[in-house]
Amino acid sequence: MILLFGFKRVPEVLAVVTLVCQFCGNPAAQRIEEWTTKFTLFFIPLFTTRRRYTMQCSYCATVSALGQDEAERLAASGARTGGSGAPTAG
Ligand SMILES: [Zn+2]
């Protein structure tokens, strides 16, 4: 009997936030991504073995690792800037 097993990495964009990049120094969109590594059996993902968080600058494309707390905080702040950033008329 042959067992086909392996690992699959699945990226998911949590948020896009505008920050001053620590590498190139430009205020640019930073993509906050969650990389989930899943164990697969016969190409079917069964369970998550590892979770990583990264931030990629859209200007210089440098990828830096993030902690889970920092990634979630940035994702939450990115979700809020969608509508509340503009001043209200009236
Ligand atoms: Zn940059």
Ligand 1 centroid – CA 55 distance (Å): 10
Ligand 1 centroid – CA 39 distance (Å): 33
What is the rounded CA–CA span in Å between residue 71 and residue 35?
12
CB 20 within 8 A of CB 58: no
CB 72 within 8 A of CB 64: no
Ligand 1 centroid – CA 34 distance (Å): 19
Chain segment 20-79, per-residue pLDDT in tens:
999 999 999 999 999 999 999 999 999 999 999 999 999 999 999 999 999 999 988 876
Ligand 1 centroid – CA 48 distance (Å): 30
Note the pLDDT of residue 86.
43
Note the pLDDT of residue 90.
47
Domain spans of the chain? Answer: 5-79
What are the Cα distances from residue 53, in Å, to 11, 61, 69, 72, 79?
Answer: 9, 15, 10, 9, 17
Ligand 1 centroid – CA 26 distance (Å): 6
pTM of the model: 0.74
CB 64 within 8 A of CB 31: no
